[in-house]
């Protein structure tokens, strides 16, 4: 690690192969306007840690098997503490040489693994942000969800004065701010607005300790499912990306259901698909990524997830 003029640089190793272009495509297709951006082959966002703020930029090292994370601003003094959340976000602990061969024993997945052997499950900087995104994204396209998320940031977020990167010059709304803001005419049905603000209130009051390092995934799953407007899809999606559950499976995801049904028309609903998808344990989250990615590769868009 090197620190100079409030910039810290970290080299974070990964186990090859590592499909950086698709990871970047996934983040880019879902980037929150004003908060995060994918540009010039790098992922970038404003971050806060222990009361200090700054900018995180992550790119692929041109030669070594590692990602390079640049942390600018006062937050750079916490570079050592930031290694773990960055590694989690970019799925650097995954071992594709273990996961790939196990999934490839399945004839449906074998060609997908062969085509993209280094596919990762994209993580999230913040579990709270991810759940907000998931609620907003219910029954709308990825693009429509991104537009609404951008409006949420403008209404309830905080602009960072003198921030050097215009595309990342906003802080995502805090749970308390999102719970309290007026969301009339935001572009969501009233029921979904109520679900979103109910969730934000539950996080703000500590009833759902979403980004706690001590809460276990099972109790968080139960706490989220107990909230109005949050169903199994949202919980499994968050488990995949924020809690790093390699076996999470968003069974009611439309793209996944269609992908399986296209391969076996007798398997229409998740209840019928269960036996087939259980064969992918304990790596169902990676199976989901392969199926989503196949669709995204085919249509050249941010479909899936």
Both tokens of 43, joined, read 């992922």
Q: Where are the alpha helices (DSSP H) in 161-231?
A: 175-180, 190-204, 217-225
Q: Checking DSSP bridges between strand 42-49 and strand 52-60, what pairing results, if any?
A: antiparallel
CA angle 48, 49, 53 (to 5 degrees): 40
Question: What is the reported pLDDT for 305?
Answer: 58
For the whole prediction, is pTM greater than 0.85?
yes
Strands (E), the chain: 2-3, 7-13, 36-39, 42-49, 52-60, 66-72, 158-159, 170-171
Residue spans of alpha helices (H) in 121-216: 127-136, 142-156, 175-180, 190-204
Quick one: pLDDT at residue 264?
Answer: 98
pLDDT at residue 3 in the model: 45
Closest CA to 94 of 116, 113, 119: 119
The whole-angstrom separation of Cα 249 and Cα 277 is 9
C-alpha span between 277 and 78 (Å, rounded): 41
All domains of the chain, ordered by start, with CATH? 2-93 (3.30.310.20), 95-116+247-305 (1.10.1670), 127-241 (1.10.340.30)
Digit-by-digit pLDDT tens for the chain (305 residues) are 544 469 999 999 999 999 999 999 999 999 999 999 999 999 999 999 999 999 999 999 999 999 999 999 999 999 999 999 999 999 999 999 999 999 999 999 999 999 999 999 999 999 999 999 999 998 888 899 999 999 999 999 999 988 888 899 999 999 999 999 999 999 999 999 999 999 999 999 999 998 877 778 889 999 999 999 999 999 999 999 999 999 999 999 999 999 999 999 999 999 999 999 999 999 999 999 999 999 999 987 555 55
| Phi, psi for residue 101 in degrees, rounded to 5 | -60, -35
Distance set, CA 32 to CA 133, 137, 298 (Å): 9, 12, 24
pLDDT at 1: 53
In a 3-state reduction of DSSP, which class is residue 277?
A: helix
Residue 215's pLDDT is what?
78
């Amino acid at each position: 690690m090197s620190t100079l003029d409030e910039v810290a640089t970290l080299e974070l190793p990964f186990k090859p192969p590592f499909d950086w272009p698709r990871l970047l495509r996934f983040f880019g297709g879902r980037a929150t306007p004003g908060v995060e951006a994918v540009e010039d082959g790098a992922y970038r966002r404003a971050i806060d840690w222990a009361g200090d703020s700054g900018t995180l930029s992550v790119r692929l090292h041109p030669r070594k098997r590692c990602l390079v994370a640049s942390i600018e601003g006062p937050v750079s003094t916490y570079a050592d503490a930031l290694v773990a959340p960055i590694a989690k976000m970019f799925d650097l602990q995954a071992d594709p040489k273990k996961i790939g061969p196990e999934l490839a024993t399945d004839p449906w997945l074998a060609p997908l693994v062969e085509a993209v052997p280094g596919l990762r499950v994209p993580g999230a900087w913040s579990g709270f942000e991810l759940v907000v995104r998931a609620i907003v994204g219910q029954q709308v396209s990825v693009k429509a969800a991104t537009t609404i998320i951008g409006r949420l940031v403008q209404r309830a977020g905080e602009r960072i004065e003198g921030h050097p990167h215009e595309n990342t010059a906003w802080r995502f709304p805090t749970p308390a701010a999102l719970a309290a803001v007026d969301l009339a005419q935001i572009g969501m049905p009233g029921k979904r607005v109520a679900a979103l603000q109910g969730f934000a209130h539950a996080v703000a009051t500590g009833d759902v300790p979403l980004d706690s390092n001590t809460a276990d995934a099972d109790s968080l799953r139960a706490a989220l499912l107990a909230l109005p407007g949050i169903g199994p899809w949202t919980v499994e999606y968050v488990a995949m990306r924020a809690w790093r559950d390699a076996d999470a499976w968003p069974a009611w995801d439309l793209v996944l259901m269609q992908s399986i049904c296209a391969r076996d028309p007798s398997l229409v609903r998740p209840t019928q698909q269960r036996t087939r998808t259980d064969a992918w344990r304990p790596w169902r989250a990676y199976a989901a990524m392969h199926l989503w990615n196949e669709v995204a590769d085919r249509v050249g868009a941010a479909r899936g997830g």
